[in-house]
Amino acid sequence: MADKHTEHIKFKTEVLKAVILVTVALGGGSASLFLGEQTPLRLFFATVGMVAALGLVLAILLLYQDIMKRIDALEDAR
């Protein structure tokens, strides 16, 4: 039973790493749109990208909390 929980924690940790990487890439790409000529379309895409990056930051925090809860539950079970 503990092995199942351990594997689930490992999987969620890998997902967390991937989401962090996507967030950094999305945020960087969106920020780079602000560096060029300020057209309405570029500003729109940059703003949408930043909002999406903020949403992913929220997902990272929730995923991290879930991982920590599972680790605590696993330690309590031992």
For range 11-25, the mean pLDDT? 94
Instruction: Give the pLDDT of residue 25.
Output: 94
* CB-based contact 31:54 (threshold 8 Å): no
Instruction: Give the pLDDT of residue 1.
Output: 61
Full-model pTM: 0.82
Angle at 3 between CA 78 and CA 74, to 5 degrees: 35
Instruction: Give the pLDDT of residue 77.
Output: 77
Phi/psi of residue 39, each to 5°?
Answer: -100, 155
DSSP secondary structure of 14-64:
HHHHHHHHHHHHHHHHHHHHTTS---HHHHHHHHHHHHHHHHHHHHHHHHH
- Is residue 29 predicted with pLDDT exceeding 70? yes
